[in-house]
Structure 1
Amino acid sequence: MEKKETDLQTISSSFPCVPYSVQLEFCKKLMQIIESGSIGILESPTGTGKSLSIVCGVLTWLRQYYENNGVEKETKEAQETGEPAWVAEFENSMRKTQTERAILRVARRSSLRKHRMLLNQVTVQKTSLETVPNKKHKSNDSRNFRESKLVVADPDEEFLLSDAVVRDTSVMLPQTGPSNARSSRNEETSEEEDEFEELPRIYYCTRTHSQLSQFEEEVKRTISNMQWSEKIPFPSVLILSSRKNLCINEKVSSLSNASLINERCMELTSKEPGSSGSCPYYHLEGQRDLRDCLNSEILDIEELSNLGKAKKACPYYGMKRAIKSSQFILLPYQSLLHKPTRESLHLPLHSNCVVVFDEAHHVIEALNDMYGAETNTEQIRSCLLGLETYLEYYETRLSSLNLFMLRQFHSFLDSLTKFASLHMKIPSDDEETQNVFSVEDFVIRLGVDNLNIFKLNEFLESKCLHYKLVGLLKSKSLSDSRGTDSYQGIHAVFHFIQTLKQPYSKSRIIVKFRKDVGCTFRLLVLHAANNLTEIISSVRSVVFAGGTLEPLRDIKLRLLGAFEDSRIVHCAFDHVIPDNHILPMIVSRGPTRIPLEFTYTTRRSEFLIQELGRILLNVCRVVPGGVVMFFSSYSYCSYVVNYLEQTDIWKSLERQKPIFKEPQESLELNDMLEKYKQAVYRQHGGILFAVIGGKLSEGINFQDDLGRCIIIVGLPYPNHLNIELQESINYITEMFPSVSKNEILEDMCMKLVNQTIGRTIRHVADYGAVLLVDQRFDRPAIPNKLPKWLRRRLVVTEDFGVVLSSLAEFFRNFRNKLPV
């Protein structure tokens, strides 16, 4: 018992502010999961300080690891293997010595880097005050020599396929050494940076860069508050970003598409640094300088970009060089989950790595998106035209092997266009038809089953054909009138072909035909968890964190199906608000006692919509501030609004509060939100019609008066007729026969509901009501899939009078409170 209190005191001291008890429990559970090497699923409601809890938990564990020198094996392991105790003691001693040395090297390296940074600043200042004519003359001679080479060189050589392999590089080519310079470069960097390999590493992953920036602020606050001695190194924190966000070469960063930026960068950096056509910001000294800065202080993306401009060094490659010596890395999902990206960044995965996926309910969707692909006949024709142009220019200068592979690529593209043309001629009364094929069947129907897709992909990637193709078209101004769209189409085709490398049994090809658009090919990933399983199997521990992850079956089946339940630890924490700050209610009947059931077949009933209008009108009379009503789709939201506008109910609603509707266009969203906020705070309220799963159901905070009452209309079941959804569900039910199709659909529905509910309570002093308007919410299985903190406060009644009186009393209790 005494040890437990000590543990909580230790954790509490890590917080830069007084923590909630929920935060302390979260940290403790997180540390236990990491220590035991488990897979954690941790739910902490929005407004409970989840991000800060994650930061304090992983940093406290990291500090304790350093204090204990990483010695965690107990002598009982030796007893289990039958080894003598002295053998285990010797191994522990060796391991302790190695870790101590590694920690000392990190501490020493940190000190040396600070010294190097200071020395570099002095040198820069000194150089700027001096003039060295001889050096200037030498520099001009060198530049003139390069310019003369540029004039003589054949510009077409730039896009000609060679027999050499060109790949993305993470570190710089030394400016000395002949053709084997890349291998010598790798040896040079291994001695400098591989010394950090055995130390623990924490990866924090989330969806967007804005979320990473917010998390970084919490890291800064926490690290500066914690105690770090000379023997325990201050952990190096690094935030990863893409070339698109970090490139300072205006000729590259001005490109409209991230893929084109990546390819142009790879093209420039594949050249000898300082040579004609290379990137002027891509040099070894600049990378080291930026790495030292990143390892010595916490820089956000904008600060790193500005620093790169000041030092005339590439921020992106400086960031990549800092990866190996960083202990706490913040990165978007794509960087870790997408294997090609992970390998390009050289992100280490070993038994001392800890991975935290925040907002983990998005991981499944993220995996499916990054490993899936889509292209269409228009894009394929653009790519085919570009390839034919390329062959016209270079056919007589290509090696026989390169020419053979290019013709195979041409054959594949040509087969896709013929396949599309053939199926477009099939008569059909439908505006759109779609078919599903296994990848094997699709390849056979194309007539290219004798073609090795894997070898073709290897050729396309190793030769960087994509950017050579685009580069030639740009240089010759041969793109069609669509310009950039044409280049992006070529990228889509290459990406589609790349995804065909995945296991055929876990993919499907969806082919859609529309008379006005043409043919669309989509590769659907049925089970992307394989790509996550590799990560989980390589690291010490993986934690899935979120405001609510219920229902858990989705994560367990689709992400963790390969792991034993005994290794998975789930913990759902309570909210920090008092019980009387939330009023969740199931509304089964309306004011005129009409049963409320918004199924696909009944939801357009005039009686049902009128009853819904009466519910909203009565709620607005007793609820202060903003009332947000969520519908299952944009089309149904528009249908209800259009219907109510023709009734007297709408006029009565307008007299109660100003009315707003969520726009489908993203450009209109901010303007609408600003007007809604002004109405709530200046006119004491507002009504907002929104969509579950839309732009407002996640990421937008309806805190305080902006969302005093959230109304969810119906259960947002996904469209079971969607062919992609059918294929995914069929695959899951085949893998797990004990799970039914209806259960999976219900889980998907409640996942959306739970995310929407999370919009209302945003901090400890916030309060609000949640109305679940549909009698199906009272079915036995449904309430159990609501968040645990909400479930135990849930009120169920069939009498709308009780609902209205409960709402009135609930808000009456807060009437005398000042606005938060």
Structure 2
Amino acid sequence: MDELDAWFPYETYRPYQREMLELAATCARNGGIAMIDAPTGSGKSSIVSALLAERAGKKVIVAVRTISQLTTFIRELELVRSRKRTLAYSYLIGKRSLCPLSGGGDVYRRCEGVKAVSTSLMRERAGTGQLVPSRDPVIIRQMKKLDTQHPIICPYFIKSRVFTGGDGNALRMLPSTTLRNRADRITRERVLPHELREMGAGICPYEMLLLAAQKSDVVVVNYHHLFDDEIRTQLYGSLGIEPHEVHLLIDEAHNCGEVMQGVMNTAISGPALLQAEREILGLRRQLKQAVAVTQIIRNIGDFMEGLRNSHEAEDWFDPSIFDRIVVRGSLYRDLSEVVDDLMQISEHIREKNRAAGEYATTAVEVLTAFMVRLTCSAPDPAFLTVFRRDGDEIVLEVRNIDPSGRLQELARSHHCCILISGTLSPIESFRRYYFGELDVMTKTLPNIFPPSNRMVLCAGDITTAFSMRQNRENTDRIARYITTFASLAGNLAVYFPSYQILETYAGILEGRLSSRNLIVEPKDARDAGDLLKTFLSLPARGSSGILFAVCGGKWSEGLDYRGDLLAGAMVVGLPLAPFNRVRQMTIDYYRHKFGSDGEFISYTLPALNRAEQAIGRVLRAPEDRGMLVFGEKRFLEPRVRSGLPSWIRDEMAECSIDSFAAAVKKWK
């Protein structure tokens, strides 16, 4: 038995799984970057076994996007631990869901503020001999007097710390016995996210997880722990590691580009601008820069008002014109001087609010972040300055269109970085998009689920292309496809390119599908969870429904519709992003970078991935059975079809509305 077999937690390997794990082990042993495209059921989560087999003293960090993906790795690591009893693993989730301290504002900022004040207080009291802060009468009185809505100290953090030293020796702040014991339990026992509040009762749950992570061989983190440079630097510092000491595994890696762009994008809205002006006007007597910056804010407001004359929902604006208009008639020569003053004002407000127990992000800080990004990115073609309409408001945005630079820095800084997903297809396109000409190992696995359990069809006589959206015959035919598809038994899902198109067909078909428990994805995320639970509960009640959702929306990715929860999926249209000047500028950028492949990588590839994610909700296990329908003739075009996974390309049959009806009848 070799080292890989020793860590692999199953009796046998799935088809092609051993090859995938050997590639990961080679990457871990030698260092470098690897990308693996492996459909659902390939056993991707077992790659963590390969990284452990080649750990050589390094820490394994797994980055996931959702709680369901975290749970998958908890299950996998428990199986590994059944073979390797000494394995210690833990995970970190966001403070927002963990923090027991009440109060408003940003939870991360609140945590930073109350920890700083609590640490100062505890250290001062330890100097008088009070080495157990939670038993110190002075600190106990402070905790009893705490304003719960505006806390300046944290009782949970205080109960998580003790001191050693004193009497001439240097004081050291250490984890309390309670914190250490519970952190040890985290590394030794299976503890699920919903159990953390109870396990961390009375102490800081995040400190408990962080201490467990320090002691662990494997740590599972969420995306923002990894992709945000500041958060990652703080995390690695807390864990006492450097990136080159880490084997990094990124799950659902088709999201990497979008997530990294989200970290780098900044925006400012009209209401936020007005609030920033009010915040600064209140400082006129304290800060000499306040009056001058107020003029700048009003100039930005005038610039935004001028954009209302545009008929576009989204468009590019020239940053050099913005610069001239914003500093015109002011005391500033250029935006860099404005940014300097804004940063000073932001820091003043932040410190003032922290002292008062206020932790909300101020509008001045939002404006400052926008202006800093705008000035820093002005010469960088990987960023565009964009305005868009949000209802009646104009929003200015600095938008990243190429995340590859930051992704390359992230991957190369670690000893090894392995990206895995079931939809990294075509993998060569994703490799170029993420890593350009870097040396990257790649592997694509075939779909091992039985083809007899699925039917893949593509409509050759319908489209949602803009030029055909007002065509009555095309619209009626799309409606017929959907109603025919709805005649299948079981829960079904129909995915659309946008909410606008979804609402069009929901309006057309609401009456015809009234007997099918039609559930429509809402724009407001607050209502989405309960509606989805209703849909998923139908089979257990002997019923079924049909889901109308948006590709790339809340119900199209990261969810497991196993067994009878979903019997078929249909994607209506090719879910391309709306075409406008911003999109054309993005395409031009990638054409310059990649030549003839630039448009496919920047425009078509994201649309294909959204469609694959939606279609992929159906078949989550070998025994699952379902019909997969691409309701768009553009999927048959050679360049588009070539971007689909090989199993879809090989099995997808063209149909007309009549042959589709026959196929549905036969599939029943």
**Shared fold, TM over 0.5:** yes
d(CA) in 1 for partners of 2:543, 2:335:
70
d(CA) in 2 for partners of 1:640, 1:789:
30
Structure 2: runs of 5 or more not aligned: 125-141, 143-151, 164-173
- Report the counterpart of residue 627 of structure 1 in structure 2: 492
Q: Does 1:697 align with 2:556?
A: yes
Shift of 1:525: 1.8
Q: Does 1:543 align with 2:415?
A: no
| Structure 2 letter corresponding to 1:446 | V
- Report the counterpart of residue 721 of structure 1 in structure 2: 580
Measured at CA, do residues 12 and 607 of structure 1 come closer, stay the same or move farther in structure 2, by a change above 3 Å?
farther
5 Å-filtered alignment, 1:515-664, equals 516-517=392-393, 519-552=394-427, 555-561=430-436, 563-564=437-438, 567-588=439-460, 595-621=461-487, 623-645=488-510, 650=512, 653-654=513-514, 657-664=516-523
What secondary structure sits across from 1:625 in the alignment?
coil
d(CA) in 2 for partners of 1:13, 1:471:
48
1:507 to 364, 383, 393: 383
What secondary structure sits across from 1:493 in the alignment?
helix
Structure 1: runs of 5 or more not aligned: 1-5, 66-198, 229-233, 396-405, 476-483, 589-594, 812-820
- Report the counterpart of residue 654 of structure 2 in structure 1: 797
| Structure 1 letter corresponding to 2:301 | A
d(CA) in 2 for partners of 1:216, 1:664:
32
5 Å-filtered alignment, 1:20-39, equals 20-39=14-33
8 A Cα contact 1:660 1:688, kept in partner: yes
Measured at CA, do residues 514 and 214 of structure 1 come closer, stay the same or move farther in structure 2, by a change above 3 Å?
closer
| Structure 2 letter corresponding to 1:627 | L
1:351 to 244, 249, 253: 244
Measured at CA, do residues 726 and 465 of structure 1 come closer, stay the same or move farther in structure 2, by a change above 3 Å?
farther
d(CA) in 2 for partners of 1:676, 1:304:
29
8 A Cα contact 2:114 2:153, kept in partner: no
Shift of 1:556: 2.5
d(CA) in 1 for partners of 2:44, 2:376:
36
- Report the counterpart of residue 223 of structure 2 in structure 1: 333
What secondary structure sits across from 2:242 in the alignment?
coil
What secondary structure sits across from 1:785 in the alignment?
coil
5 Å-filtered alignment, 1:295-314, equals 296-297=187-188, 299=191, 301=193, 305-310=197-202, 312=203, 314=204
8 A Cα contact 2:35 2:441, kept in partner: yes
Larger radius of gyration: 1
Question: 1:493-545: per-residue Cα shift (whole Å, max 9, x none)?
Answer: 3443454574431333324578953x432121233332222222222211111
Question: 1:171-223: per-residue Cα shift (whole Å, max 9, x none)?
Answer: xxxxxxxxxxxxxxxxxxxxxxxxxxxx3121111123453244223212322
State the TM-score, normalized to the length of structure 1: 0.67
- Report the counterpart of residue 287 of structure 1 in structure 2: 175
1:219 to 74, 77, 87: 77
Q: Does 1:56 align with 2:61?
A: no
Measured at CA, do residues 549 and 422 of structure 1 come closer, stay the same or move farther in structure 2, by a change above 3 Å?
closer
Question: 1:751-801: per-residue Cα shift (whole Å, max 9, x none)?
Answer: 11111111110112111111112222221122221123333333x234555
8 A Cα contact 2:35 2:442, kept in partner: yes
State the TM-score, normalized to the length of structure 2: 0.81
d(CA) in 2 for partners of 1:632, 1:616:
15
d(CA) in 2 for partners of 1:210, 1:457:
41
d(CA) in 1 for partners of 2:236, 2:322:
34
Measured at CA, do residues 665 and 458 of structure 1 come closer, stay the same or move farther in structure 2, by a change above 3 Å?
closer
d(CA) in 2 for partners of 1:304, 1:680:
31
Shift of 1:430: 4.1
d(CA) in 2 for partners of 1:584, 1:366:
30
1:446 to 326, 332, 346: 326
Shift of 1:30: 1.7
- Once the two structures are overlaid, the 10-residue window that deviates more, 704-713 or 493-502, is 493-502
5 Å-filtered alignment, 1:16-165, equals 16=10, 19-51=13-45, 53-62=46-55, 65=56
Measured at CA, do residues 746 and 433 of structure 1 come closer, stay the same or move farther in structure 2, by a change above 3 Å?
closer
- Report the counterpart of residue 467 of structure 1 in structure 2: 350
- Report the counterpart of residue 749 of structure 1 in structure 2: 607
8 A Cα contact 1:584 1:769, kept in partner: yes
- Report the counterpart of residue 305 of structure 2 in structure 1: 424
d(CA) in 2 for partners of 1:687, 1:279:
48
| Structure 2 letter corresponding to 1:287 | P
1:243 to 95, 99, 117: 95
Shift of 1:721: 1.1
- Report the counterpart of residue 135 of structure 2 in structure 1: none
- Report the counterpart of residue 190 of structure 1 in structure 2: none
8 A Cα contact 2:484 2:661, kept in partner: yes
8 A Cα contact 2:477 2:657, kept in partner: no
1:492 to 359, 363, 366: 366
d(CA) in 2 for partners of 1:752, 1:667:
22
d(CA) in 2 for partners of 1:487, 1:39:
37
d(CA) in 1 for partners of 2:292, 2:40:
53
1:207 to 62, 65, 76: 65
8 A Cα contact 1:390 1:469, kept in partner: no
Shift of 1:606: 2.5
8 A Cα contact 1:358 1:546, kept in partner: yes
2:531 to 662, 669, 672: 672
8 A Cα contact 1:442 1:509, kept in partner: no
d(CA) in 1 for partners of 2:655, 2:153:
72
What secondary structure sits across from 1:736 in the alignment?
helix
Measured at CA, do residues 698 and 557 of structure 1 come closer, stay the same or move farther in structure 2, by a change above 3 Å?
same
- Report the counterpart of residue 139 of structure 2 in structure 1: none
- Report the counterpart of residue 232 of structure 2 in structure 1: 342
